[in-house]
Amino acid sequence: MSANTKMEVFMQPPLQSIDKIARVKQRDVLLVSFIEHITTIDDLCGNAAQQKLFAEVTAWLDANGIKWQQCALMADHATWGYIYVDVLINEADCLYQKLINYLTHADGSTSIKGVTHAVISLENSMKYSHEDEHLELGLFEKYWRV
């Protein structure tokens, strides 16, 4: 990744946090991560291996008609490597089962090295609802203005 590309990643407006998405949807949500360990600036911007995984997983989601969007792990953290996947968290839902079968082995371990997922509960996300007011004040837009 070139220095210009890294700078462009950091100059983009902040992404919606996964907690904010859960509050807007009013339900538990699924977070997929392409970051195993953050040790270099490339881990924050997405190194070549992470970008390849991102492309493969999002292509699979698109091919299977599953909506997704990039998101932030927390408000005010513009790191690359997280997506919200728009499926109902329900073991009986066939789309959810198809996604879980793609992401994990039968024993629950990850099937794609470097890709993890987690269910983010609405109950936990509600603990961060104070962030909504902070974001609505436009403070992050001012901070991220070029």
- Maximum alpha-carbon separation in the chain: 47
User: Is 146 a domain residue?
Assistant: no
Average pLDDT over residues 28-34: 93
Measure CA 141 to chain center.
20
> Is 110 a domain residue?
yes
Residue 111 lies in a domain: yes
> Is 104 among the domain residues?
yes
| 99 found inside a domain | yes
Residue 144 inside a domain? The answer is: no
Q: Where would I find the beta strands (DSSP E) of the chain?
A: 29-33, 68-70, 82-85, 116-120
Other beta carbons within 10 Å of 99: 20
Tell whether 23 is covered by a domain: yes
Please, which pLDDT band fits residue 132 given cuts at 50, 70 and 90? low
Q: Any idea which of 83-87, 122-126, 140-144 has the lowest mean pLDDT?
A: 140-144
Q: Give the ranges where 1-137 is alpha helix by DSSP (H).
A: 3-11, 18-25, 41-45, 48-63, 94-103, 122-126, 130-136
Could you report the per-residue pLDDT of 53-72, keeping only the tens digit for each? 999 999 999 999 999 999 88
Whether residue 123 has pLDDT greater than 80? yes
- Print the domain residue range for 20: 3-139
Q: Is 145 part of any domain?
A: no
Give pTM, 2 decimals.
Answer: 0.75
User: Please, which pLDDT band fits residue 145 given cuts at 50, 70 and 90?
Assistant: very low
**Distance between CA atoms of 5 and 46, rounded to whole angstroms?**
10
Q: What is the DSSP letter of 16?
A: P
Total domains in the fold of the chain: 1
